[in-house]
């Protein structure tokens, strides 16, 4: 089922939800927001404000080398190391607490790994213009579907070679002069300016080697999934999103008229969709 975001979103409170089969008071809903390549918890500042003002609990994760983290992306060589902050966060949650995981872009890989390892602690996984591959990058099709292809824009990356220039690059970031054109073309200039100041190289070698075993594939299927499709995305293009949706079908697909960064370009609509997902009966059956 595909649902387009409404032009106006009303406030959802406990009285709207009470009596439903999955009613959880707002103060008990806990969103965990996971950034994409080179980002950080700062990406979600608008969403965090909207959510907390509406009574939700919100945690914004800085993955290793992201956000305020001090690690150099060129030193982060494995996906397990990169995603350790999220896995440590999930491990520390009380056994009876469930969260709603939201991953943006490559943050979808982080969410999927958490679903493999902590299915019982995750009420819902939401992929926002995100890489949604059940087992990560295990085949050529996975790479074709899940890795952004920005070749149409020319030489877009500044690369880092932590293992030497004769080895594959260990980090990458889109050049500042191209970031707005590619990532934030529908976002306010204030936000793309902020991003240009804060965006850091991402550990590309670690991300491209993200793979998950089939040993716990039954666990990951226990977590209901929602995909939020970004209609004007130049990074994870709509046809790539559609291919991932077709290969590993989520319970619900929402659509936003936004660029790759709806937390900047369509924050109120994204907020409304996250509320809707949290308030609904998210089981796939």
Task: Just list the catalytic residues.
Answer: 105, 233, 260
Q: Tell me how far apart the terminal alpha carbons of the chain are, to the nearest angstrom.
A: 13
State how far the Cα of 190 lies from the Cα of 9, in Å rounded to an integer. 24
- To the nearest 10 degrees (0 to 180), the angle between helices 45-53 and 267-279 is 50
Structure tokens at 5: 């975001």
Residue 168, classed as helix, strand or coil, is coil
State how far the Cα of 64 lies from the Cα of 76, in Å rounded to an integer. 8
Query: Residues in the chain, how many?
Result: 285
Q: Find where tokens 């890989």 sit.
A: 109
State how far the Cα of 262 lies from the Cα of 219, in Å rounded to an integer. 30
């Amino acid at each position: 089922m595909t649902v387009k975001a409404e032009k106006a979103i009303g406030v959802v409170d406990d009285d709207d939800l009470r009596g439903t089969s999955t009613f959880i008071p707002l103060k008990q809903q806990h969103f965990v927001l996971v950034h994409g390549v080179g980002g950080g918890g700062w990406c979600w500042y608008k969403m965090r404000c909207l959510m907390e003002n509406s009574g939700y609990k919100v945690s914004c994760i800085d993955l290793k080398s992201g956000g305020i983290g001090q690690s150099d992306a060129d030193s982060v060589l494995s996906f397990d190391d990169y995603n350790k902050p999220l896995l440590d966060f999930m491990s520390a949650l009380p056994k009876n607490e469930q969260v709603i995981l939201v991953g943006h872009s490559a943050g979808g890989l982080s969410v999927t790994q958490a679903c493999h390892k902590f299915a019982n602690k995750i009420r819902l996984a939401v992929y926002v213009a995100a890489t949604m591959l059940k087992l990560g990058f295990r085949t050529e099709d996975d790479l074709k579907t899940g890795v952004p292809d920005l070749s149409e824009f020319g030489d877009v990356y500044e690369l880092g070679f932590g293992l030497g220039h004769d080895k594959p690059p260990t980090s990458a970031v889109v050049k500042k002069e191209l970031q707005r054109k590619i990532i934030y073309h529908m976002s306010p200039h204030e936000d793309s300016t902020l991003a240009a100041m804060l965006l850091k190289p991402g550990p590309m070698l670690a991300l491209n080697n993200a793979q998950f075993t089939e040993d716990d594939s039954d666990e990951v299927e226990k977590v209901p999934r929602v995909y939020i499709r970004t209609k004007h995305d130049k990074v994870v293009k709509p046809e790539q999103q559609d291919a991932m949706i077709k290969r590993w079908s989520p319970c619900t697909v929402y659509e936003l008229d936004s660029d790759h960064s709806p937390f900047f370009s369509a924050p109120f609509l994204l907020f409304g969709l996250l509320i809707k997902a949290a308030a609904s009966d998210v089981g796939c059956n």
